[in-house]
Amino acid sequence: MAHLLSEDSQLVKDWASDQDAFKGVSWGKAMMWIFLLSDTFIFSSFLVGYMTVRMSVTEPWPNASEVFALTIAGHHIPLILIAIMTFILITSSGTMAMAVNMGYARKRKQAARLMFVTALLGASFVGMQAFEWTKLIEEGVRPWGNPFGAAQFGSTFFMVTGFHGLHVSAGVIYLLIVARKIQLGHYEKEGNYQIVEIAGLYWHFVDLVWVFIFAFFYLW
């Protein structure tokens, strides 16, 4: 720890330097990181609200494992849809990481293609979420109440997944736009594919948030 703060540690040098504190980080990327930090606070506040409400209601909390179970081919499998959604999102994170890599390797076509795949996976995630919402609504789950227990189950579910879903949808659009621009060679002149990495940061963040929602909302 001590060496971190010593005069010539890289940390102190960067902060004490002129022009920029994050050496070699483009404006766009710096801004995306700061935005994600702010967004972290948004999702954390949502989750804190969820935690507090869940811990302080006297009604029993519905068993997520059961509520989100599906019967597939006669088998009753708990949480299966959520598991699939999780895998899809992780897959999309993988393809996104590849796209970033391709971008830096100046493989324009591959990068764009991988981004399209990512967007497609993202879209299918949103689709499954829509399916999940429909199913729950058919079963009588509403923001103001549900047949399984505490009303806040429905409220937090729609709020938290809805907000995450909005982020995914925005990400899909963002990815599509950037991918298209790459395909058309917009960034060829400057030879700078950082834009892919920036889009990637956002996309991975959406995945990251899902990791927490999966753990705290569905598994807990």
Partner 1 sequence: MNEPQSFWTKYVWSQDHKVIAVQYSITAIVAGIVALVLSVLMRMQLGFPDSVPFMDSEAYYQAMTLHGMIMVIYLLTALFLGGFGNYMIPLMVGARDMVFPYLNMLSYWFYLLSVIVLMASFFVPGGPTGAGWTLYPPQAILTGTPGTDWGIITMLISLAIFIVAATMGGLNYVTTVLQARCRGMTLMRMPLTVWGIFVATIMALLAFPALFVSAVMMLFDKLLGTSFFMPAVVSMGQALDYDGGSPVLFQHLFWFFGHPEVYIVALPAFGIVSDLISVHARKNIFGFRMMVWAIVFIGVLSFVVWAHHMYVSGMNPYFGFFFAITTLVIAVPTAIKVYNWVLTLWRGDIHLTVPMLYAIAFISTFVIGGLTGLFLGNVIVDIPLSDTYFVVAHFHMVMGVSPILVIFGAIYHWYPKITGRMLNDTIGKTHFWITFIGTYAIYFPMHYLGILGMPRRYYAYENYEFIPQSAHDLNSFISAMAIVVAVAQVLYIYNLFWSYWKGKEAGPNPWGATSLEWQTPQTPPVHGNWGEKLPEVHRWAYDYSVPGYDEDFVPQTQPQPEDRPAGEMA
Partner 2 sequence: MSTSNALGQESQEHNTQEHPIGLYLKIWVLLFVLSTLSYMVDYMQLQGYLRWTLIIIFMLLKAGLIVAVFMHMMWERLALIYAILLPPLCLLVLIGLMAIEADYTILMRYDFFGR
- The footprint of partner 1 (CB under 8 A) covers 15-22, 25, 27, 30-31, 34-35, 37-39, 41-42, 44-46, 48-49, 52-53, 56-59, 143-145, 150-152, 154-155, 159
Q: Which of partner 1, partner 2, none is residue 116 near (CB under 5 to 8 Å by kind)?
A: none
Q: In the complex with partner 2, which residue's Cβ is closer, 51 or 137?
A: 51
Q: In the complex with partner 2, which residue's Cβ is closer, 102 or 142?
A: 102
220 binds partner 2 (CB under 8 A): yes
- In whole angstroms, what is the distance from residue 111 CA to residue 99 CA? 4
Q: How far is the CB of 128 from partner 2 (least distance, A)?
A: 15
* DSSP 3-state of 106: coil
Q: How far is the CB of 218 from partner 2 (least distance, A)?
A: 8
Return the residue of 42, 44, 137, 184 that touches partner 2, per CB under 8 A: 44
Residue matched to tokens 């981004």: 115
- In whole angstroms, what is the distance from residue 128 CA to residue 62 CA? 21
Residue matched to tokens 């990481």: 97
35 binds partner 2 (CB under 8 A): no
- In whole angstroms, what is the distance from residue 18 CA to residue 94 CA? 36
166 binds partner 2 (CB under 8 A): no
CB contact set of 188 (below 8 Å; sequence gap of 6+): 108
The type of residue at 154 is: G
- In whole angstroms, what is the distance from residue 206 CA to residue 54 CA? 24
Q: How far is the CB of 56 from partner 2 (least distance, A)?
A: 4
